[in-house]
């Protein structure tokens, strides 16, 4: 039986990546709940608020049951807590859900470990201070960021308007010759339909927030299997 992975997604920006991923996967189900976002801002205080335990618990209760895993599909709303805080966040989420749980931040570090990646280039849509927290989070997992490009976009809604060409060129522009992969950490960025185009343009694996979130959920639910059309990470699953 195909697994069901609950997706907790803050606000509205690139949530349509998940129905598209479900279509491409052709089996696993990815029901999504929009969690409360009192303020759409890539600002530390706002990010701490959207990732609060009460917000995520309410999201879990709104998901259809039964579930095989649940993922907090927000990178900045997890790494902003720091490594230990993000781990506590996932632990609380799993306790409420009663199934294996994770977040996009840990999905990135787990995906890097799975592919043997330790040197990356990061294309962040966030302001500099938020993007630097992602760099620090990756460092805790032994992943070195060789170059960081932060676009300084304040709202997730604006990130969600970036078109295909803008996303592909952003990934290409941030690449570093010694990086083993390019990471695009914002779940507000539409990427699921672009993964093969991104990797063709950059010439190496590209890990994106919505991609690794889905992969992590399938991994936790025992539903990971090699699949085409979703980048090197899924081909290697």
Residue with tokens 């977040």: 103
| Residue 41: band (very low, low, confident or very high) from pLDDT cuts 50, 70, 90 | confident
Instruction: Give me the mean pLDDT over the 3-27 stretch.
Output: 96
Task: Give the CA radius of gyration of the chain.
Answer: 16
| Residue 33: band (very low, low, confident or very high) from pLDDT cuts 50, 70, 90 | very high
Q: Which pair of structure tokens corresponds to residue 218? A: 């399938």
pLDDT in tens, 52-111: 999 999 999 999 999 999 999 999 999 999 999 999 999 999 999 999 999 999 999 999
pTM for the structure as a whole: 0.96
Instruction: Tell which residue, 128, 167, 170, has the closest CA to residue 150.
Output: 128
pLDDT in tens, 208-235: 999 999 999 999 999 777 888 999 999 9
Q: Which pair of structure tokens corresponds to residue 73? A: 């599909």
Give how far Cα 170 sits from Cα of 166, 182, 191, Å: 6, 10, 12
End-to-end CA distance of the chain: 18
pLDDT in tens, 135-150: 999 999 999 999 999 9
Q: Which pair of structure tokens corresponds to residue 119? A: 């040197």
Domains assigned to the chain: 5-106+210-228 (3.40.50.12500), 109-207 (3.40.50.12500)
Give how far Cα 12 sits from Cα of 46, 82, 112, 187, Å: 15, 24, 27, 10
């Amino acid at each position: 039986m195909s697994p069901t992975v609950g997706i907790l997604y803050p606000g509205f920006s690139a949530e349509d990546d998940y129905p598209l991923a479900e279509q491409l996967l052709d089996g696993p189900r990815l029901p999504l709940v929009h969690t409360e976002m009192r303020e759409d801002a890539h600002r530390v205080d706002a990010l701490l608020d959207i990732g609060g335990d009460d917000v995520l618990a309410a999201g879990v209760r709104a998901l259809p049951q039964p579930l095989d895993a649940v993922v907090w599909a927000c990178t900045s709303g997890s790494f902003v807590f720091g490594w230990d805080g993000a781990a506590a966040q996932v632990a609380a989420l799993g306790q409420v859900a009663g199934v294996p749980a994770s977040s996009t931040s840990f999905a990135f570090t787990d995906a890097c470990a799975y592919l043997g990646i330790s040197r990356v280039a990061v294309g962040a849509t966030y302001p500099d201070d938020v993007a630097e927290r992602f760099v620090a989070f990756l460092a805790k997992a032994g992943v070195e960021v060789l170059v960081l490009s932060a676009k300084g976009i304040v709202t997730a809604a604006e990130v969600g308007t970036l078109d295909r060409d803008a996303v592909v060129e952003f990934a290409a522009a941030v690449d570093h010759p010694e990086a083993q992969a390019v990471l695009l950490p914002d779940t507000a960025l539409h990427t699921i339909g672009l993964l093969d185009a991104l990797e063709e343009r950059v010439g190496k694996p590209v890990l994106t927030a919505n991609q690794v979130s889905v992969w992590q959920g399938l991994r936790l639910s025992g539903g990971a299997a090699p699949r085409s059309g979703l980048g090197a990470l899924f081909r290697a699953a």
